[in-house]
A and B are shown apart, each in its own frame.
Chain A
Amino acid sequence: MTAVSPLPADVPAASPYADRPKGRIEITDFSLRYDGANGPMDAVSDVSLTVEPGEFVSIIGPSGCGKSTLLNALAGFLKPTSGVVRVDGKPIEGPSADRGMIFQQYSLFPWKTVRQNVEFGLKMKGMEASERKRAARTLLGLAGLLPFENHYPDKLSGGMKQRVGIVRALATGPRILLLDEPFGALDAQTRLIMQQILTNMWQRLKISVLFVTHDIDEAIFLSDRIYVMTARPGTIKAEIAVPLPRPRQPAVIMSSEFLALRRGLMSLIREESLKAMGGEINADALLGLGANFDGHDLSRAL
């Protein structure tokens, strides 16, 4: 049902992707502070990261570590307190169709049909109605969504909504795709399929992707590199390359390389998650979970 028909090897010259091999993201010494209830709070401090053109990079970290803050700054919704966010050498000045964004919450316009949603970015560019209709239909056809072009988002499943969201973000031919836990609300099976669709599109379009998630398997399966962030204030704790060959099949998650990466990431994240939970769970409490009552079970001991 989700198979994507292969794109012809030679992308037509009219394609927005034909002549743009760029899309380099450069974040230098990024800090963001906001005024919380107890004075100023550092959400993110001194983060530097890069995404090379055509690279797939994930940011992973405990909730509240400022992953989304970074993405929002890249999208142009937030200005850093200090530091610079550059795309292809130019500082970001506001939202733009150069940087497509996909949100965890389905963000399709409920008052537009699937096709009208996909057309939206092209309409904003001033493309003529008949032309953008043709473009949207082509893209929907590639994504296997053409039978649903006249449906309102209301009638679609979560996975389908997110596929339309991806197609919509790609329709304007962005150099960069930013994804903020896009599959977080989907069930495990749908999520796997969506991951494959995303890799497939990314490989064919050669755009740079920055993907925020808290799912370790997802990050490894998709990425070329992974940045691990610390608990608040968010900083980069580690940068991990994922040398798994591409194209990756779902079975790759059983390989020893995958599992080794997973083990490493797990321990990095675990430390931070515990820190993020603060006083809620300390080391003693976790020890308590494994306490041994001389062979008796816990209920007996109690």
Chain B
Amino acid sequence: MKTATLSAEAPPATAAAPETLKPAASKAADGVWAMVGRANLRPVLVGFVSIALFVLVWRFLTVNRIDLYVRFMNVPSPDDVLESAKTALSSAQFADHVLMSCRRILYGFTLAAVVAVPLGLLMGRFKLLSEIVFPVAEVMRPIPAIAWVPMSIMLWPTNEQSIVFITFLGSFFPILLNTLHGMANVDPVLVRAARCLGASEAATFREVYLPATLPQIFTGLTVGMGVAWVSLIAAEMISGQFGIGYFTWEAYSLVQYPDIALGMITIGVLGLASSWAIRLIGRLAMPWSAK
């Protein structure tokens, strides 16, 4: 047992509680690594096995051209996809598609966050503003971003702007609603405590409402990032000339089936990486919530 050295040093049970609160750097570090080793190794291993199994099943179905009502005859095998990935990764064109999509996400999503977070905070604080904005938001919210494509093309001078706009719309509402929800759940005792300590209205907003709402804001950002990708890909497939969504759709039109799968996997990886990035920023922004 790896923790044997730790438990041997541990003081008697009565003194154990305060002991755990003291910063015991070296001992704690050993313990943490032992825990990481034990707790994280298994899920990682299982994860690898699970993905390997998925690829194996995919390979089996496609190589043998299985036809069980669902038809796998034209579906590219993992080997085909790997092959097309090799060519794609060495071509500048593919990288351009990826970069284009990333740039649109960055613009659309950042814009949505910059508008929706302050708006949500202010709506949570000032009832009148909420009463004005909320009805409009409620009507707009159920409209899927893809339904905005024709309108967006009319609204904006360039194709590029309309795609960014659709990405913006997709992530805007989840961010706004989560921020609002977070504001509604701020503990009133904390607000009163701040006021008793001499905090002005502005200081209370900055020091209490904002940090108290941060966890919900980051939930909104994570959800918003997911919806941003959904909206972006849809918009690119319909009206794009570049981007990974366009790449995927074009592959279908040009009967380059392995590229379809390559496009899909790329979208998956990009989506995963961006939500992982948000979670990382969240952890940096909220050190108190670290377990």
Contact = CB atoms under 8 A, between A and B. Distances in A.
A290 B21 CA distance: 50
A96 B198 contact: yes
Contacts of A124: 197-200, 203
B211 interface: yes
A103 B194 CA distance: 12
B147 to A, nearest CB: 39
A136 interface: no
B212 A120 contact: no
A292 interface: no
Interface in B266-291: 286-288
B286 A99 contact: no
Contacts of A152: 287-288
A75 B196 contact: yes
B22 A101 contact: no
Interface stretch (A24-32, A82-90, A106-114, A268-276): A106-114
A168 interface: yes
Interface of B: 17-18, 21-23, 187, 189-190, 192-200, 203, 207-208, 211-212, 214, 286-288
Interface in A41-75: 75
Contacts of A109: 190, 193-194, 207-208, 211
A147 B192 contact: no
Query: Secondary structure of the B side of the interface?
Result: helix
A34 interface: no
B288 A95 contact: no
Give the contact-size bracket for chain A. 35 or more
A154 B286 CA distance: 13
Contacts of A113: 288
Interface string A139-160: 0000000011011101111000
Contacts of B187: 105, 107
Given A120-B207, A152-B288, A172-B198, A75 B21 contact: no
Interface of A: 1, 75-77, 94-97, 99-101, 103, 105, 107, 109-113, 120-121, 124-125, 147-148, 150-152, 154-157, 168-169, 172
A107 B288 contact: no
B192 A97 contact: no
Contacts of B190: 107, 109
A157 B18 CA distance: 10
A101 B196 contact: yes
A100 B214 CA distance: 27
A103 B286 contact: no
Contact of B196 (A150, A155, A156, A169): A169
Given A1-B18, A120-B207, A147-B22, A95 B195 contact: yes
